[in-house]
Structure 1
Amino acid sequence: MLLPPLPEKSSKKFNSAFFPKRKRSVSLTLGLNKLELAARSFVRLLIKIILTGVLITLFFFLIYWIYDSFLIKEIEIEGLTEKRLIKGLELINNKNIFFIKEDEIAEKILNENPEFNKISLIKIYPRKVKLIIKVDKPLVALQVNGGFLILSSQGRIIAKSKKNDEHLPVINYYQKLDYYAETVGDWIKFKDITVALDLLKYSFDFGLAIDIIDINGLDMIGFKLGTREILFTTEKSVEVQKYELEKIMHQFKIEGKEFLKLDLRFDKPVAVFKN
């Protein structure tokens, strides 16, 4: 006896139950793949951020190290025979050596120290500078209303004093300057005074001991050596007057003559001798 075939309905139920389960598995797999990709992207981004931060930190550390390695920590002073306070060293102390302009800083320090004639600044890498200082000694005391202006050979006011305590040669100027109007560090630029300073320095180098300098105008600069007198002028070449003075003094020394007055203002110098 033949059995009847199974009804079609049971086959349809099996198929309808099987296929929905496969669709949910595929969706779950796709979701996991997306999360994994997102996690990997986040990790890569985080690594990039960390590496960038590390590189930036290292860069700024390197910049700071380079900057700190060239900060000036030592200043060598050359040219001074004794210890003294030097104004303006804060312009270079603990400053980066690359940013120091030698001539500019030297000029600023010179302006703050009127007793110095010249300053040279030399960089010694990585952390040192040398200051070579030339001191300009007081040459003369210019008498003014209320005291004296102590001048260097270049005409710079290196000090002010009520008295000529150093017993320097005194300049008597026909136009009295005011003691309180002049400032230490300023320059006296009157032509007759600057010429007198030049001639005075030359006279010292030549061995003449000048006591007083009377300036009565451009045409009358008188150097007094006790009872003797030498007259100069700004209207004639200073170098010519120097040459004539040296030549005449040498001649007088050979001949054993002593002058009372020597006038170098004219083309031909005039000398007056002791009887």
Structure 2
Amino acid sequence: MKPSPLTGPMLILPATVLLLAGFLAPTAIMAMLSLRDYTAGSGIGNSWTLANYLSVLGDGFYLEIVARSLALGFLVTFACLILGFPLALFILRSSPRVQTAAILLVIFPLLCNIVVRSFGWMVLLAPNGVINAALMASGIISAPLDLMYNLTGVVIGLTQIYVPFMALLLIPALQNIPPDVEAAAFTLKASRARVFFTVTIPLAIPGIITGSILVFVLSISALVTPRMLGGPTYKVMATQIYDEFMTNLNWPAGAALAFILTALALALIWAANRISAYFTRGIST
């Protein structure tokens, strides 16, 4: 029996409706909202304007928030890569029993709510918290370290949260490296360090870029951890967007900030894909 020409469109119709209703429609509403004017005390106006975008791009306060968010994303991504790469190698090159236990330990923190984990870091990093108390009791420091309500605390908290994502994305990339390539390098008397930097890392570049994109995007858009570990005065783009919507009630400015954050994330993904394609062509040739 010949299938009806409408079979294909009917199969994708539910997903299309869900996409339109759940993503495209809210995005379009937010886009229109970001182009509306706003007057304090009067609310959202009826005029169309680019002032919300221009105020962000031309105001030093907002530019500092954007720069801080990007710096946070790069620091967290770098820390996750430094910790996640050895972890992925250890898991991959362990016995099957150790691999299973290690993967479970990596996945287990993901089952815990981010709020709970952030509260845990507040207990550890507070001026009178566990870390400062232990360091002062041992005589290493004489005054509490400033580990909270600044960049340090936020980087520590986000790194712990996103290291599993980096490690889990690096494991398949390392599995795809042919063992014969590293064996051939050792046969040619290359040291372990040279094999690692000239063979393992270049062949794992696609996984490194994929994991870095995911961690960076999650870091610059994180809200709960920067708010809890950074405090109300430590502003990044996600916390400022929340404040514009919920505290200042300036929805057009918040929508404009949200689209600028989205544009930054898309630009990063585009650049990373170009870099990944370049390395892939170089490796294949």
| Shared fold (TM-score, shorter chain, > 0.5) | no
Greater fraction of residues in helix? 2
Larger Rg: 1
Greater fraction of residues in strand? 1
Greater RCO structure (CA 8 Å; 6+ sep): 2
**TM-score bracket relative to the smaller structure:** under 0.3
